[in-house]
Structure 1
Amino acid sequence: MRRLYPAGLAAVLFILAAATILIAAGCYHKTAAPVPVTVEEKKEDPLPRLAAEEKIAGYARPGALISVYELSRRLDDPGTFIIDTRGRSFKVLQASYPAGHIPGAVPALHSNYCHPTYQGRIGTPLQLQDFLGRLGAGTGNEIILYGNDGLQARLYWALKMYGYDQVRILDGGLDKWKEAGFDVAIAATRRPPGTFEFDLAGSKAEQMMATAYEVAAAIGNSGYVIIDARRNDEYLYKHIPGSINLSSEELFNQDRTFKPAHELRALAESKKITPDKKILVYSNSGVRSSLVWFALSELLGYPEVKNYDGSLQEWVKLERETEKGLQTARPEPEKRRQ
């Protein structure tokens, strides 16, 4: 006998049956998995990196410089310690470092590694050890220095002079880093204090630092060249007698990287600065002179180059003679002609 349902109940049963069919159909037709979006990785143009490597390999001491490309691959290396040397004053440091720096770099205030007694002169080995340890550097770190006014070269010169050889200058500094497209950091880098010690048995102060007495004795001596590393207008206004002008600005390409070895050599030789001479370099306070020292000693391999750390500030304070205008020829002292 056929069972009859009220009209309302029949409608409900019909809806339930339709829903069951739709659910069952969904079991057989799974939703297609989303197609992963492929993001094309930005490819590095190898030509600038290869050009930088080739240029640096052409220097007498390639290990004195590091390119921004090599440093970018070493940021996560715990043995790499980067120092931002742009802090010529506290005001300059406040305006530069927080505005952007290489990730992991710590800032260095110039006055913290200057001599406590002799204003502007480089600090003692013990002072620099304490300074670097407080920054977080440890003995054995490879120290990478970058700056924009010569302090990177001055600190490099000091570390090498006190016997620490694991130090390099970043070619082109922060500007080159940005130009290459690498990220900069804003937040300050905090490192725990480290233990840093010089091996003073390897100190080369006598070979690398000139004194006022040595500079005075070199005037008129054909075996020496005294170089003024300041701008030409500064040189013309006042300079040490017999010195020649090789401005630190002449060492750089437009992007603030060092010129290649053959150009630096041609520049030096055009001013009669040759590796057979004993070379003494000065500026106002031993900063820009350290750049010329670096180019001649480290990049060209000239064997006897010294930085006069006291420079013109000390020379004038000692009431030594100065000249104005172009270099004038001076006769060699009688006893040196023999």
Structure 2
Amino acid sequence: MATQSLVTTQWVADHLDDPDVVLAEVDEDTTLYDTDHIPGAIAFHWREDFQDPVRRTFVGPRDFAALMERKGVSRDSHVVFYGGNNNWFAAFAFWYFRSYGHERLSLMDGGRKLWELENRTLTSAPPTRTVTSGYDPPALNESIRVRRDEVLERYVGSPDGVALVDVRSPAEYHGEIIAPERLPQESAMVAGHIPGAQNVPWEHVVHLETGQFRSADELRELYADVGATPDREVVTYCRVGERSSLAWFVLHELLEFPTVRNYDGSWTEYGSLIDVPVSRPAGGDEGGTA
């Protein structure tokens, strides 16, 4: 049976005792998880678990496989992600696991916010999953990820057949601020956006009161309005790749666009590169861009 990319809170509630399903709460810190979480859920810390401890990049294939084994995840496990921040980091985890070839993945619509709004069960009890073995180190799937060199060579300016989608806030996109006020440590050297990128803020794809995604028709129209259509290569980016993973999920998994890639270097990388074109409507353009 095919795995659904998006599942409801009720689906999760119905599968709490399913040994085939691994619930995983993912966020930028695990303080809230430590207080309470969905029964049986394991925790992933976005930076400590998924990022190399020295460089800003993925952990290597062997380290990823070892992480899966420590967490009790096998190659055949159906991993269902959820989290706070309207599922930003849960969507990043979905994209990250897909990049490493794990097939059976889902995102819980509405994330932790909706689960709490519905007064569903939470617990502080630690999960009791058994450590596994034999998770073969995976090869990285580059078809859904894009690196800075390719961004510079192929995507700057949104040439024919390409749609660049910047999912940050309008203030970040226009160069009025470099990073959200609560995340000043994750900022680039300059403000602005990649030339040719269109702004579709992440919050436009969800109902903020519940965290649930908008309808497929609404989402399709939202992206079509900025030229992001199924016949184009679409590249999403934000500040560090987590908000853009939410957009990637919408476009790739919900709308089933054939070619969607997430630029996880995003603006913290691009906005700190030397001598690259930058558009900054709020304060003039840099590098000769128009």
Q: What TM-score, normalized by structure 2, do the two folds share?
A: 0.84
**Residue 271, structure 1, aligned to residue 226, structure 2:** yes
- Cα distance in 2 for partners of 1:142, 1:199 equals 18
Name the SS of the counterpart of 2:271 in structure 1.
helix
1:219 and 2:219 are equivalent in the alignment: no
1:173-229 CA distance string (max 9 Å, x none) = 1221122332111222243322362574xx562211111122112223121111111
SS at match of 2:236: strand
Which consecutive residues of structure 2, in runs of 5 or more, have no partner in the other structure?
176-191, 286-290
Task: Map 1:319-338 to 2 at 5 A.
Answer: 319=274, 320-325=276-281
Q: 1:128 to 1:147 in 2, by over 3 A?
A: same
In structure 2, the residue matched to 1:137 is 73
* Structure 2 match to 1:55: none
Is 1:205 aligned with 2:129?
no
1:307 aligns to what? 262
Computing the radius of gyration from Cα coordinates, the structure with the larger value is 1
SS at match of 1:115: coil
Matched position secondary structure for 2:40: coil
8 Å Cα contact 1:211-1:310 kept in structure 2: yes
> Aligned to 2:98, which of 153, 157, 160?
160
Q: Name whichever structure is richer in helix by fraction.
A: 1
TM-score (norm 1): 0.72
Report the equivalent of 1:259.
214
Structure 1 unaligned regions, length at least 5? 1-60, 329-338
Match of 1:171 among 67, 89, 109: 109
Contact 2:230 2:257 survives alignment (8 Å): yes
**Separation of aligned partners in 2, 1:298 and 1:199:** 24
Distance apart, 1:122 and its partner CA: 2.8
With 206-215 and 255-264 compared, the bigger mean Cα shift is at: 206-215
Look up the match of 1:43: none
Residue pair 1:130, 1:196 contacting (<8 A) in 2 also: no
Give the Å deviation of 1:246: 1.1
Structure 1: distance between partners of 2:240 and 2:270: 10
Deviation at 1:240, TM superposition (A): 1.1
Task: Read off the aligned partner of 1:102 and give its amino acid letter.
Answer: I
User: Letter of the aligned partner of 1:272 in structure 2?
Assistant: G
CA contact (8 A) 1:132 1:196 kept: no
Aligned 8 A contact 1:137 1:196 in 2: no
Could you tell me which residue of structure 2 aligns to residue 108 of structure 1?
Answer: 44
Amino acid at match of 2:277: E
Q: How many residues align?
A: 262
- Secondary structure at the aligned position of 1:317 is classed as coil
Evaluate the alpha carbon distance shift between residue 151 and residue 69 of structure 1 in structure 2; reply closer, same or farther with a 3 A threshold: same
Supply the AA of the counterpart residue of 1:324.
R
Q: Identity of counterpart residues, as a percentage?
A: 28
1:139 shift after superposition: 2.2
> Using the alignment, how far apart are the partners of 1:313 and 1:72 within structure 2?
38
For residue 152 of structure 2, give the secondary structure of its aligned residue in structure 1. helix
Given that 2:64 and 2:137 are in contact with CA atoms closer than 8 Å, whether structure 1 keeps it comes out as: no
